Structure 1
Amino acid sequence: MKVYILWHVHHVAVDEVGNVAHFENGEFSARENLGDDVKLLGVYSTPDRVERRISVARTLPGFRDEPDCFWSAEVEVDEDDWASGYVTE
């Protein structure tokens, strides 16, 4: 079974020249260690429900200030992520 997770990012992190970094190398950016505020909006059963939630959120304070900063991912329920562990530096 697949579900769709939806986040919103309020960007404050800046790149090397002082611009707010919404994307890095063509990928959506969220650098919490530099102040970006990531919010989980919900987990949905279909991409259509994700789009409906985004439409509503874009009318709300805060979210409407960054209307293009929603990010979603399709995930399989009961499927492990980070199965190989990790190392911190």
Structure 2
Amino acid sequence: MSDRVFLLWHVHHVAEDESGAVRHFDADGDFRADEEEGDDVKLLGVYSSRENAMARIERAKELDGFRDEPECFYVSEYTLDEDQWTDGFTTI
């Protein structure tokens, strides 16, 4: 069994940048989603390989909504049993 998993996300982008355009990536090239600004983030699944996640993207592109935003998929890779949030938090 692999110690890696691949999460597949889709974002219906609503948030716009200063010019009024929807931005899929930030200045560093990282995928961007801002739920506070109205972006709708959906987890489509967790896969054992990037190839399986990519195959799911192709299937999802045939479905209502997803076919209208084919550039809004993102695959993130994680190591199993590895902490992702290592600091506390403060509520303001």
The two structures share one fold, judged by TM-score above 0.5: yes
Q: CA RMSD in A?
A: 1.2
Q: Distance in 2 between matches of 1:27 and 1:79?
A: 21
Structure 2 stretches lacking a partner, 5+ long: none
Structure 1 stretches lacking a partner, 5+ long: none
1:29-84 Cα offsets, whole Å, 9 max, x none, are 10111000000000000111001100000111100111011111111111111112
Q: Distance in 2 between matches of 1:42 and 1:80?
A: 20
Q: 1:14 aligns with which of 13, 16, 31?
A: 16
Q: Distance in 1 between matches of 2:77 and 2:21?
A: 30
If each structure's strand is expressed as a fraction of its own residues, which one has the higher value? 1
Q: Report the AA paired with residue 64 of structure 1.
A: R
* Equivalent position of 1:28 in the other structure: 31
How many residue pairs get aligned? The number is: 89
TM-score by length of 1: 0.92
Q: Report the AA paired with residue 7 of structure 2.
A: I
What is the deviation of 1:27?
2.1
What is the deviation of 1:21?
1.8
TM-score by length of 2: 0.89
